[in-house]
Amino acid sequence: MREETKVKQKEGEMKVRKFNKLSDKDIVVYSLYLLDGWQKRVHTEDIALKCYELAPNRFSWVKYPQYPDLTPARFALESTKKSQYGALVKGESERKKTIKSVGGWMLTASGIQWIKINKARIEKYLDRQVPIGDRLPGDRKLKELLGSAAFKKFTGLGERAEISHAEFAESLICTVNTGAEVLNDRLEQLYSIAEKLKREEVKKYVDFCRKRFASLLGGKGGVKNAKE
C-alpha cells in the first residue's frame, strides 16, 4: 500500500515538473483553442474551467484545490491580448462588458498562427492530445458569407465591387443598424475562421470590407458615399 502511494506521489511530482515547462499563457491560449475560440467568443469561466482540467495544480484555489480559480486564467488572458505579448487573443472579461461591448474571448489570426507552431509542444508536456472541438459553427458562418450578395460581388469584381452598407451588413448576418463593435467582432471572427480553415478569399474579403467601410467600423477613411 505504501509502495502504491509512493508511486502515485512520484507520478504527481513528474506531472508538476512537466506543467512547469508550460506558462499560464501556453495553457490559457491552448484552452481557448480547444473551446473553439478560433471561430467564436468563449466565456472567461469556461476557459478557466478548461485550464483547471488540463493543469489543476496551476489553476485551482490554494486552500481548496478541488475548485478551479478564475484569477490566473483571467490575468493570463488580459496579458496575452497586449501587443507586447503577441496580441494572441482579443476580448474582455464579462464583468467589464458594457452595452456596446461583446464580452468573452477569441483567438486572433496571430493566436491561430501561434497555436499551429506551439500546439505539439504544449500537448507533449500535457501528456495528452485533446481532440479539437466541432468546426460546425465556423462552417456555418462561412456558408452564410459565401451565399451573400456582397461576397458574390467581391468574388466577381474584387476591389472594384460596388457593395452597399446593407449588403455588407447582411453578409455578416447583421442589419444597417448594427453598431461598429459587433461589426468589427463579426469581421474578426470571419478572419480567424478563414485563417484556421485556410480560406484566403475570405481573408481578402474581410480586408476589403475593413477598408471600404472604415467609417462604419469606427476607423478613418473608407468610402464616404458607399451605395445604400
Domain definitions of the chain by residue range: 2-126, 136-212
In 3D, which of 117, 92, 115, 111 has the Cα closest to residue 102? 92
d(CA 138, CA 51): 23
Average pLDDT for 127-146: 68
| pLDDT at position 210 | 94
**CA 112, 57, 129, 14 torsion-angle sign:** positive
For the chain, give the mean pLDDT: 83
Instruction: Determine the topology of domain 2-126 in CATH.
Output: Arc Repressor Mutant, subunit A (1.10.10)
| pLDDT at position 200 | 93
| pLDDT at position 7 | 44
Q: Which residue has the higher pLDDT, 199 or 6?
A: 199
Each residue's pLDDT tens digit, 56-79: 989 999 999 899 999 999 999 999
- What is the per-residue DSSP string for 184-211? HHHHHHHHHHHHHHT-HHHHHHHHHHHH
pTM for the structure as a whole: 0.62
Run of H or E including 219? none
105 strand-pairing partners: 42, 91
